[in-house]
Amino acid sequence: MKKTLPLILVFASFHLLAQTGEEEAVRSVINRLFDGMRAGDSAAVRSVFHPSARLQTTYVKKGIPILQSETADKFVQAVGTPHTEIWDEKIWSLDLHIDGNLATAWTDYTFFIDKKMSHCGVNAFHLFKSREGWKITQVTDTRRRNNCQTEANDATAEIDALLNNWHKAAATADEDVFFGSMAPGAVYLGTDASEKWKKEVFEEWSKKYFERETAWSFTPKNREVYFSKNGKTAWFDELLDTWMGICRGSGVLQKEGSSWKLAHYNLAIMVPNERVQDLLKMMKEEGDK
């Protein structure tokens, strides 16, 4: 007989950058749920739930949307029922929000039975800060079996590859890759004060350049990448070897599904501080002509 898994399974440990005390406390509650599941410790799992907590899961079966609910008590009972399989739910990201005594946590996950992938989706936690501390009041998850992530990604490497290919696309006049790497509504800031373009306008303006063998050729020399707490937004700065000399590029990327897209880019010419006055004088002379 095929064993039916409980609606909410096991939540893997994860790490947040620059956590506040409250963020750490919420994380600890979810980690205790994970630890209790691993140990089959129903008492430990019961301790993280509010008495009124419920669990829900939603999925589509034969084209029909389904919503199932169960009490936390039933889930706790399932945890305490002996089972030989390891229920391992890996968390790939966490988006945490706290206001007063309300917290929400949105996590992407993939669930494994032992080492075999079962399904993936999103978990949505609601937590309430009671006199005893943070308690889970509800968890709702989605489930699917396609397009599931099965291992942790190196986000910095993904962004490096995207930006390197983006610069290469300009050097080889590959219009599809260049603009395909940019998010809808992306903004490009050039070195001239007038060069502020939305993606669609930038694409139209640059057509004459992409008709050549090379639109323009900028070679990255180094790059630093930074991430938001939820891992969905990244920003970076880089030095570029260009026909204008060394320039600095900086920008913002957004994660759309499993892919990164460039949302904002700013290109700036590097002017040594000791040459600024000379530059200003030259620009004034040009303006006076």
Give the chain's residues under pLDDT 70. Answer: 1-19, 288-289
Answer CATH for 21-142 from 3.10.450.50, 3.30.870.10, 3.80.30.20, 3.40.309.10: 3.10.450.50
Instruction: Tell me the per-residue pLDDT of 216-239, one tens digit each, with 9 for 90 and over.
Output: 999 998 999 999 988 889 999 999
What does DSSP say about strands 49-61 and 133-142: parallel, antiparallel, or unpaired? parallel
pTM for the model? 0.73
pLDDT of residue 289: 63
Helix (H) or strand (E) holding 125: strand 116-130
- Sequence spans of domains, the chain: 21-142, 155-274
DSSP-based three-state secondary structure for 150: coil
> Does domain 155-274 match CATH 3.30.470.20?
no
DSSP H helices, the chain, are 21-39, 42-47, 72-80, 155-171, 175-180, 199-205, 207-210, 276-288
Cβ density class 137-153: b for 16+ within 10 Å, e for less: bbbbbebeeeebeeeee
190-195: long-range contacts at Cβ-Cβ below 8 A with a sequence spacing of 24 or more? 190/267, 191/244, 191/247, 191/267, 191/268, 191/269
CA atoms of 133 and 268, how far apart (whole Å): 49
Instruction: Tell me the per-residue pLDDT of 161-208, one tens digit each, with 9 for 90 and over.
Output: 999 999 999 999 999 999 999 999 999 999 999 999 999 999 999 999
CA atoms of 12 and 148, how far apart (whole Å): 16
With contact defined as beta carbons under 8 Å apart, do 122 and 109 qualify?
yes
SS3 per-residue string spanning 47-107: HCEEEEEEEEEEEEECCEEEEEEEEHHHHHHHHHCCCCCCEEEEEEEEEEEEECCEEEEEE
> What DSSP state is assigned to residue 132?
T
